[in-house]
Structure 1
Amino acid sequence: MIGHTPRRTTSLSLLLVVLAALALSGCGGDRAAAEGEDPKQVDSTALPEVGKCRNLTHEDVAKAYNFDEYVACDEPHNAETFGAGPLPDEFEDAEYGDEKVNEWAFSQCRKLLEKYVGSDQSLLMRSMLSHVYFGPSEKAWEEGARWIRCDVVGGGQQGAEYVDLPTTTRNLLKVKKVEDIEDRWMVCAKGKTVDSPKVPCSEDHKMRAVTTIKLGEPGTKFLGVAESKKKASQFCRGSVSAWLGYPESFEYGYTWFGEKEWKAGNRWAVCWAVTEE
């Protein structure tokens, strides 16, 4: 569940690599850069550079824009810009913070991240990787800036704390079998409830995200809270039982998402098995 505000990338063809080529030289803003910010990025109307790395906090991610200084990608970092591009023409006259821009950005960055890390949505939701998105400052927006920046972060998915990423996350999840992915990139829970802190599965844990269920197709209306929970619970009970090898007794949990995420294209629920493996 990503929380923040707008801006976008050209259709899905905004493709990963285009980015660096599209990056323009920044134009500095009027306000002074805050500690940790790059003055050249503040209030810039230029398209962000792709392939840049940063160290972001949860406070950073909660904001609509971000101008943090870059760090070398071969040094410790927890965020990598994997996409950037202009908003479609339909948002040219949109107000700053328009919710439709938000929904568009959430959906486009999510789809692009799947391609970038070599995954599908089901696997991505069970991993430690998630996307966040940023747009220009309000001043830059007023000056005509219309773009979105997509970052992959090492955490955030299911509420996990951020962890360091490799030099690049490109194709990090592209494997023949899920079992081939290192446990440090899969998400687990420390306790026996889905609300407990999330950690990489390489750390001590009591639950693991093992399967997912798609609750609706594009165009399907939100099922509502009660129906979403019912459908997720029924599926996860059978799915987790199968994953555990059909034991006589077992414990399981599930995570479902609300109407806001549904409208942005996230129509999935995640199934959790109580296991220390």
Structure 2
Amino acid sequence: MTRLRARAATVVAALILTGCSASPSEPADPSASPSPSVTETPSEAVPPDPGPTPRVGECHALTFRQAVAVVGRTEAVACRRKHTAQTYFVGRLRLETPAGSTRRVDSDAAQRQARTTCQSRLPRHLGITPRELRLTMAQAVWFTPSATRAEAGADWFRCDVVAVAGPRALLPQPRRTKGWGDAPVLAMCATAAPGSQAFRRVSCGAQHAWAAVATVDIPGRRLPPQAAVADRMEAPCGDVARARADDPLDFTWTQEIPTGEQWDAGQRYGICWVPA
């Protein structure tokens, strides 16, 4: 038996998608474009436009940068065309406070509502459990209206599913992503052992050398010392690796302990890896 201990040096993009907060994805507001100055009387004033409300099932051709940082705006595309995101839930933001004031769409409370709702609904959409989702490259991203649209009455938030293919790349998706969670292409693999310089997290549909096979919960409000986490993960990871090996006396495995940044983003578990 060979055991390797690894601690990721940085947060991998595939694991921080769930921690991003999103901004508008609707077309730019025409009122933002320069135009000649016009003096209007109240009767001639054009009411503000809240814009269209997203719909469940819409597809989007997001780039990796748009999915992570939500830079730029995209229109929905036909799902028969190549796309990298699909909307699986649309909800309403709770913008009215108990005191009667109105929250901004980019407030912590509004973004927390969108984030927690989208993350909790993704496993159900994909047809897998939350624990199984940990071992996939699928992630939830969320979008809210612009401040201008919100002032005009838009109060929606949109949940999209994306899947990371590898560094700075998203997987193309089928027409329907409902029940897609057990697709082999979504499984999490790596180009090298976690902790090594060549380690890159990739879809198992790409060339890979290691596969993620199990996760181990880490209790507590703060990330324990690395040695304590490694000790906690040793038996579960070893058992999984032994069960998958051809020879129960000769097998290799490694454990990936979350970084402090990953822990703060909500990853309260370590990952067990075996050679592919």
Shared fold (TM-score, shorter chain, > 0.5): yes
Identical counterparts, % of pairs? 23
User: How many corresponding residue pairs?
Assistant: 234
In the alignment, residue 49 of structure 1 is paired with which amino acid?
R
Q: Does 1:250 align with 2:258?
A: no
2:122 to 110, 113, 120: 113
> In the alignment, is residue 260 of structure 1 matched against residue 260 of structure 2?
no
**2:95, 2:104 within 8 Å by CA — same for their partners in 1?**
no
Does the Cα contact within 8 Å between 1:160 and 1:199 map onto a contact in 2?
no
Unaligned runs of 5+ in 1: 8-25, 33-42, 174-180
Q: Are 2:212 and 2:273, in contact at CA under 8 Å, matched by a contact in 1?
A: yes
Structure 2 CA distance for aligned equivalents of residues 225 and 80 of structure 1: 39
Change (3 A) 1:106 1:112: same
Residue 21 of structure 2 aligns with an amino acid whose one-letter code is T
1:210 to 209, 213, 220: 213
Amino acid at match of 1:126: L
Shift of 1:244: 3.0
1:98 corresponds to which residue? 107
Q: Please say if residues 236 and 252 of structure 1, whose CA atoms lie closer than 8 Å, have aligned partners that are also in contact.
A: no
1:76 aligns with 2:82: yes
Describe the SS at the equivalent of 1:199: strand
Deviation string 1:54-103 (CA, Å, 9 cap, x unpaired) is 11112212345763022211121111011111013566733453234333
How far apart in 2 are the matches of 1:210 and 1:60? 29
User: Which residue is equivalent to 2:11?
Assistant: none
Amino acid at match of 2:62: L
Distance 2:153 2:229 in 1: 43
Task: Quote how far apart the aligned CAs of 1:29 are.
Answer: 4.6
Q: Which residues of structure 2 form unaligned runs of 5+? A: 1-15, 34-48
Distance 1:267 1:229, change over 3 A: same
Q: TM-score, normalised by structure 2?
A: 0.70
Equivalent residues of 1:66, 1:134 under 8 A apart:
no
Secondary structure of the structure 2 residue equivalent to 1:166: coil
Please provide the CA RMSD for this pair.
3.3
Superposed, 1:1-277 pairs within 5 Å as 1-2=16-17, 3-5=19-21, 29-31=30-32, 44-63=50-69, 67-89=73-95, 93-155=102-164, 161-173=169-181, 181-193=182-194, 196-216=199-219, 221-224=221-224, 226=226, 229-230=229-230, 233-234=233-234, 237-245=237-245, 246-256=248-258, 258-262=262-266, 266-273=267-274, 275-276=275-276
Question: Alpha-carbon deviations, 1:168-205, whole Å to 9, x = none?
Answer: 110113xxxxxxx4422212111222672222213321
What SS does structure 2 have at the residue aligned with 1:126? coil
Instruction: Indicate the structure (1 or 2) with the bigger Cα radius of gyration.
Output: 2
CA–CA distance in structure 2, aligned partners of residues 187 and 30 of structure 1: 44
The AA in structure 2 aligned to 1:215 is: I
- CA distance change for structure 1 residues 183 and 44 in 2, over 3 Å: closer, same or farther? same
Query: Does the 8 A contact of 1:127 with 1:185 survive in 2?
Result: yes
- Which piece of structure 1 moves more, 136-145 or 53-62? 136-145
CA offset digits 1:141-172 (Å, max 9, x no partner): 3444332111001217x967311111111011
Counterparts in 2 of 1:109 and 1:227: CA distance versus 1, 3 Å? farther
Higher strand share: 2
